[in-house]
């Protein structure tokens, strides 16, 4: 009689131990594999192309664009090497597509300021855009997660802050991306 109970019990133990070895593929459990970097240039170029496809008339008019540093969503006055590099690469892609891109990095405090929970382009950006007949401003934010950096790139009409195009994407938080965020 005891043998009859031992065999099914042994079978249940083996099945349960197999489930713990192979069945625990829960995405919430921490992974031990390091996150690999992605091709940041390719992702930035894809973002620029996605923005451009949303506003084909902008390409036809070929009005100049302004570009500003992408800022940390949790600190709108702060950025990082990553925010500056993504802005540079998106700007570069627009230049390759034949746009005139005006460098704003030569000026200070011209990107965005926070006012009552909404983002408003600064007066200097508006003045600069009128002077150069700018069609839009390339703007963006990023947020750092545990395994990814979440980026939002936008084309904003400087005259009235209307968002003309927007594109969201993720950058894996690999060693190069971490270095750009820290430096």
Distance CA 109, CA 104 (A): 10
Distance CA 53, CA 92 (A): 16
In a domain, 10, yes or no: no
Q: 68: which 2 tokens? A: 């500003």
In a domain, 7, yes or no: no
Distance CA 16, CA 99 (A): 62
Expressed as residue numbers, the domain containing 173 is 35-182
Distance CA 35, CA 179 (A): 13
Distance CA 44, CA 170 (A): 11
Distance CA 183, CA 82 (A): 9
The CA distances from residue 108 to 12, 112, 174, in Å, are: 70, 11, 31
**Is-contact 105 91, C-beta < 8 A?**
no
4 pLDDT more than 80: no
pTM of the model: 0.72
In a domain, 108, yes or no: yes
The domain total for the chain is 1
140 pLDDT more than 50: yes
Is 151 or 123 the better-scoring residue by pLDDT?
151
Instruction: Give residue 76's pLDDT.
Output: 76
**Least confident segment among 53-57, 95-99, 118-122, 147-151:** 118-122
**Least confident segment among 92-96, 158-162, 176-180:** 158-162
In a domain, 147, yes or no: yes
In a domain, 134, yes or no: yes
In a domain, 151, yes or no: yes
- The residue-averaged pLDDT of 141-167 equals 92
In a domain, 159, yes or no: yes
Q: Which residues contact 55 (CB under 8 A, 6 or more apart)?
A: 136, 155, 164, 165
CATH number for the domain harbouring residue 135: 3.40.50
Q: 173: which 2 tokens? A: 């938080």
CA dihedral for 173, 177, 181, 183, sign (positive or negative): positive
């Amino acid at each position: 009689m005891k043998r009859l109970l031992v065999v099914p019990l042994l079978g249940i133990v083996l099945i349960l131990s197999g489930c713990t070895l192979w069945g625990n593929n829960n995405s919430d459990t921490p992974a031990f594999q390091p996150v690999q970097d992605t091709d940041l240039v390719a992702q930035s170029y894809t973002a620029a192309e996605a923005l451009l496809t949303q506003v084909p008339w902008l390409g036809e008019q070929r009005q100049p664009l302004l570009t500003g540093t992408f800022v940390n969503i949790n600190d709108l006055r702060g950025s990082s090497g990553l925010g500056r590099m993504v802005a540079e690469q998106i700007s570069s892609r627009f230049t390759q597509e034949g746009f005139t891109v005006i460098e704003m990095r030569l000026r200070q405090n011209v990107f965005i300021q926070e006012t009552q929970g909404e983002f408003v382009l600064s007066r200097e950006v508006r003045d600069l855009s009128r002077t150069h007949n700018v069609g839009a401003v390339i703007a963006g934010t990023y947020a750092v997660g545990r395994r990814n950096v979440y980026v939002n790139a936008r084309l904003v009409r400087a005259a009235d802050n209307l968002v003309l195009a927007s594109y969201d994407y993720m950058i894996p938080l690999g060693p190069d991306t971490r270095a750009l965020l820290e430096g």
